[in-house]
Amino acid sequence: MKHVASRERYDSMQYSFCGNSGLQLPKLSLGLWHNFGGVDVHENAKNILIDAFDNGITHFDLANNYGPPAGSAEETLGKVLKNELSGYRDELIISTKAGFGMWEGPYGDGGSKKYLISSLHQSLKRLNLEYVDIFYHHRFDPQTPMEETMDALELIYKQGKALYIGLSNYNSKQTQQAVDLLSQRGVPCLIHQFKYSMFHREPEKDKLLQRLEKNGIGSIAFSPLAQGLLTDKYINGIPEDSRAAKSHGFLSKDEINDKSVSTIKALNDIAQNRSQSLAEMAIAWIWHMGVTSVLIGASSQQQLRTNLNALSSKPFTDDEIKKIEKALS
C-alpha cells in the first residue's frame, strides 16, 4: 500500500478557508464515529486513516464517546499517530468533542466546566497529543448556563489545549447566543458541525446556514450519506456487514422501508444520469449548498475511494436540482 510517500497527496484534494479564519479544511473530512472503535479490526481502521491522509484528507473528526467502547476511537487514532502517521502531526487537523454522556455520575455529561475540561484531558491522553486543533461542545445543554460552557471553551482555547473552538448540534438561535458569549471572551467560533444531507434539511429550515455565513463561521456537515442510506447499498435489502445490521450501529432498520427505498432508487437514477454513484452525488450536493467541508464515515478503503471521486463531480444544472427536490418530495 502506498503510504504517505510524498506531497502528491495534496494534488487531488481541494481546500477551503473555514469561515473568516486562516484555517483551510479539506472539502472532504473523515469521521471516526463508527468503524474505528475497539470492536472493529484495527488493521482496517489504520488502512482507511492512512489512505485518507494519502489522498489529502487532512482532517479527522472524533468525540470523547466514539467507539464502542467509548473512547476507543481516540485510542485508535492515538496509535496510528504514534506509529504510521508519526511525524505528520503538523499536517493534520484533529478535532474532538464533549457533550454527550461519557462516564457515570454528574460530571460525565452535559456542558459544565467540570465535564468539558476533564473530558478534554482524557481525550488528549487517549490521542497521545498535547493539544487538539478543534474542540467542540457536542450539543447544547439546557441545564447549564451557557456562560459556564463558554467559560470552559475560553479556558481551553486560552490554555492552547485547542487551537480553535467549535459548536455542534446547536440550533440557529443557540448558535448566535454562544457566538456572542464567545466573542465577549475574545474567542472566535471557528466552525459549526451539524447533521445535513438530502434527507436532513433542518439547517436550511432553521436558517442555520445563513446564520453561520453572516457570522463568518465555517460549516461541516455530518452524516452526509444519512449513515449509508444515500448510497446504493440498501436498494436490495440490508447487507449483513452494514451499519443497519450491526447491533452497535446508530442506523435503525426501520429507516429502510418501501418509501425510503423508492426515494433512494429515484435519486440513484439521477446520479446514474450524471455518470456518478449516489454517494458521490449526495456529497457533491452538500458542496453545492455552500458547506465548507463534508464529514463522511467509511467502513472500507473502497468506500473512501468512491467518496473521494465526488471531488471530480460536474456542477449541478438547475434541472438536476429540480429533479432531486422532486424525488425527495
Ligand X SMILES: NC(=O)c1ccc[n+]([C@@H]2O[C@H](COP(=O)([O-])OP(=O)(O)OC[C@H]3O[C@@H](n4cnc5c(N)ncnc54)[C@H](OP(=O)(O)O)[C@@H]3O)[C@@H](O)[C@H]2O)c1
Single residue of 65, 76, 223, 292 touching ligand X by CB under 6 A: 223
Single residue of 55, 65, 168, 172 touching ligand X by CB under 6 A: 168
* Ranges within 195-214 binding ligand X (CB under 6 A): none
Per-position b or e across 279-296, b if 16+ CB within 10 A of its CB: bbbbbbbbbebebbbbbb
Listed residue (261, 183, 259) closest to 217, CA to CA: 183
Listed residue (166, 211, 228, 178) closest to 35, CA to CA: 228
Beta bridge partners of 200: 197
Q: Does 243 bind ligand X (CB under 6 A)?
A: yes
Asked if 136 and 189 touch (Cβ cutoff 8 Å), the reply is no
Binding mask 106-145 for ligand X (x = CB under 6 A): --------------------------------x-------
CA-CA distance, 3 to 11, in Å (whole number)?
A: 15
Single residue of 37, 71, 166, 228 touching ligand X by CB under 6 A: 228
Binding span for ligand X by CB under 6 A among 2-10, 32-40, 285-293, 318-326: 32-40
CA 169 to chain centre: 12
In the complex with ligand X, the residue whose CB is nearer, 7 or 295, is 295
What sign for the dihedral angle of Cα 103, 104, 108, 114? Answer: negative
Single residue of 23, 28, 32, 102 touching ligand X by CB under 6 A: 32
Asked if 296 and 283 touch (Cβ cutoff 8 Å), the reply is yes
Asked if 108 and 126 touch (Cβ cutoff 8 Å), the reply is no
- Work out the burial of residue 122: count CB atoms within 10 Å of its CB; fewer than 13 is exposed, 13-18 middle, 19 or more buried: middle
Single residue of 167, 182, 226, 271 touching ligand X by CB under 6 A: 226
List of residues 6+ apart from 108 with CB closer than 8 A: 101, 102, 115, 119
Single residue of 9, 35, 77, 284 touching ligand X by CB under 6 A: 35
Q: Does 224 bind ligand X (CB under 6 A)?
A: yes
CB of 280 to ligand X, least distance (A): 8
Binding span for ligand X by CB under 6 A among 1-9, 51-59, 140-148, 226-234: 226-234
CB of 36 to ligand X, least distance (A): 8
CA-CA distance, 93 to 31, in Å (whole number)?
A: 12
In the complex with ligand X, the residue whose CB is nearer, 72 or 168, is 168
Single residue of 31, 37, 71, 166 touching ligand X by CB under 6 A: 31
Single residue of 80, 299, 313, 316 touching ligand X by CB under 6 A: 299
Which helix (DSSP H) or strand (DSSP E) does residue 324 occupy? helix 318-328
Write out the three cell numbers for 73: 476511537
Residue 95 has φ and ψ, to the nearest 5°, of -115, 150
Single residue of 55, 58, 227, 313 touching ligand X by CB under 6 A: 227
Single residue of 191, 285, 297, 313 touching ligand X by CB under 6 A: 297
Query: Which residues lie near ligand X (CB under 6 A)?
Result: 31-35, 61, 138, 168-169, 193, 222-228, 231, 233, 242-243, 279, 295-299, 303, 306-307
